[in-house]
Structure 1
Amino acid sequence: MTDWILLRGLGRESAHWGDFISQMQQQFPDSQIHCLDLPGTGQHYQQKSPISLPKITRIVRAQAMEQGILNKPVRLLGLSLGGMVVWDWLKQFPEDASHAVMINSSFADLSPFWDRLYWHSYLNMLRIGAIRDIQQREAAILKLVCNRNHHQEVVDAWLQIQQQRPVSAKTIGRQLLAAGLYRAGKANPKQPVLIVSSPMDRLVSVECSRAVQQKWQLPMLAHPWAGHDLSVDDSPWLAEQLANWLRHDSQQQD
C-alpha cells in the first residue's frame, strides 16, 4: 500500500492531528501515516521559518528523505498552509507523489485577501495573540477553527503541545508572509488531486477552495458543518471520504 505524508497548517504541528491519525490507520491499515512538521513548529519549533513557501517545501521534503519515506511515491495531504506546501511539492518534485489532498487551502493568485482570511479573523487573531494565559489562548484558537463543541480534553492536549513545543508569534508571522507571497502558478498537476472544503469555515472562505477546483477542474468534497480544522471537527468523515475517493480513482483506472 502507498504511504501518507500529512502536513498541518498555520502555527500547528503533527500532534494537532489528534484522532485523525487513528481514523486514517483504520481506513488504510496497510499504509504508514507519516506526520511531518513545518519549520518553526513541532520537533522543529526552534527552527527559523522561511518567508518563502518553496523553501518550506524543500525543508519538509528533506525531512522525508532523511526518514526514508520517499523510497516510493506517497500520498500527500495538507491542511490550510500545509495544503499550499502540498501543491508546491507537486510542482517542485512531482515524482514524489501518487495522489494529493488539499483541505481548506488558498492561493494569492486565485483569491483576494479578504477571502483568504476573513476581515474579522484578523481582529480575532490579534485578540487571541494578546491573551496571556496559554490555556485560554488555546481554547480561543479551538473555538475559532472548529465548529463542534469539543471536550475540555482537546484544549488540554493543545495546551500541553504549546507548553512542550511553543510556536512563537514570529514563526506565525513568517508563515503568514510565506503564504501571502505564494502563487499557485498555471501548470496542471500531474497527479490526481482532491480538494476538501468546509463551507461553514469561519476563518477562510470556501470560495478559495472553489477557485482551485474550478481553475484545474479538480474533484471537490464539502463537509456540511465543520470549521476550518476539519480533521479535528470530524476526523471519521474525512478519513472515510479519502478512502472512498481513492477507491473510486482506482476503479476508474482499471
Structure 2
Amino acid sequence: MNKGLGENWILLRGLARESAHWGDFVPLLQATFPDAKMTTLDLPGAGRFYQDESPKTITAIADNVRNHALELGLLQQPVTLLALSLGGMVAWEWLHNYPDDICGASLISTSFAGLNPFYERLRWQIYGKFFGLLMQQGTYKRELAIIQLVNNNRERDGQIAKDWEQIQKLRPVSPKNMYRQMLAAATYQPSPEKPTQPVLLLNAKGDRLVSPSCSEAIQNKWHLELRTHPWAGHDMTVDDGDWVATRLKDWIASSRM
C-alpha cells in the first residue's frame, strides 16, 4: 500500500507551456479525486516565471520547481506528480533526488536521452512543421499550428487556440527560454536507478511529436506500468482528459491494494 498516493497532486507542463495550458483538465481531475489537493506549478521561464531565465539542465529546473513547492508549503505530505513531456523529465529527476517528497508519479508522453534516438524524441517527420511554426507570424496562427501538431481531436481547435493566444499574450515565453528548455530536454541523462515509488507511464498511438516508442523504452528499462491511448496526440489531457483521469484512478486504486 502506498500511503498518500493521489491525495496531494502537483501538475507540471512541458516545453514552453504553463499551468493555464491544462485548461479544463484540472477541474476534471479534481472531480475524479474530490478530496485531493490539486496544485499546478510553472517551470522557470514560463507562466508566472516567464520573465525569469530558464536553467539549461533538467536537474536545475527540478531544483527550482522543488524550491517553489517548498515555499508554498506543498511538501508537508508526500506529493503525487503528474507531468507532461519535458515536465516528465523534471518529475523523474525530482523523484530520484528527493524521494521522500514524492509517493508516486505519472509521466505523460515523455522521453529520455540515451534510450531513444533524437529523431524519435522529436519525430523526424515533423521537423519542418515544428521549426516552421516557431517562425509563424501572428500569435493565434502559431498557437493554432501548435494545437494541430500536439492534439488530434479537432472539435475545439478554434476555442483552444484563442485561449492559448491569450496565455501567450499575457505571459509570453521568450525564444531564449524555449531554446534553453529544449537544450535541457535534449541533454538530459536520467538516473539509471528504478524508483521505489509507483510510476505510471501514459502515451498515445497518435503522438506525432514524440514517438510512443519512447515511453515503451522507459517501460522496458525499468519495468514500469504503461497505458496507451488508441488515438490521442501528444497532449492527451486536451484530447481525451476523461481517459487520462480514469487511468490515474485505476492506477491509484491498484497501488493502494
Assess same fold via TM > 0.5.
yes
Residue type of the alignment partner of 1:157: D
CA distance in 2, matches of 1:179, 1:191: 23
Question: Quick one: which of 1, 23, 28 aligns to 2:28?
Answer: 23
Q: Which residue is 1:172 aligned to?
A: 178
Matched, 1:97 2:97: no
1:182-231 CA distances to partner (integer Å, 9 max, x unpaired)? Answer: 11131110100000011210011011000000001101000011000111
Q: Which residue is 1:8 aligned to?
A: 13
Q: Which residue is 1:136 aligned to?
A: 141
The correspondence of residues 60-209 of structure 1 with structure 2, limited to 5 A, is 60-151=65-156, 152-209=158-215
CA contact (8 A) 2:112 2:214 kept: yes
Matched, 1:226 2:197: no
CA distance in 2, matches of 1:138, 1:224: 25
Cα RMSD of the aligned pairs, angstroms, is: 0.9
CA distance in 2, matches of 1:180, 1:137: 23
1:120: how far off? 2.9
CA distance in 1, matches of 2:8, 2:95: 16
CA contact (8 A) 2:96 2:191 kept: no
Q: Which residue is 1:56 aligned to?
A: 61
Structure 2, gaps ≥5 residues long: none
Residue type of the alignment partner of 1:143: Q
SS at match of 1:57: helix
Question: Kindly, what percent of the aligned residue pairs are identical?
Answer: 47
Residue type of the alignment partner of 2:148: K
Structure 1, gaps ≥5 residues long: none
CA contact (8 A) 2:93 2:191 kept: no
1:150: how far off? 3.5
SS at match of 2:231: coil
Residue type of the alignment partner of 1:9: G
Q: Which residue is 1:244 aligned to?
A: 250
Which 4+ runs in 1 deviate beyond 2 A?
Answer: none
1:37: how far off? 0.3
Q: TM-score, normalised by structure 2?
A: 0.96
1:38: how far off? 0.4
CA distance in 2, matches of 1:202, 1:209: 14
CA distance in 1, matches of 2:50, 2:253: 37
SS at match of 2:54: coil
CA distance in 1, matches of 2:106, 2:209: 20
SS at match of 2:103: strand
CA distance in 2, matches of 1:122, 1:30: 43
CA distance in 2, matches of 1:101, 1:93: 16
Q: Which residue is 1:35 aligned to?
A: 40
**Number of residue equivalences:** 251
1:89: how far off? 0.4
Residue type of the alignment partner of 2:161: V
1:77: how far off? 1.0
Q: TM-score, normalised by structure 1?
A: 0.97
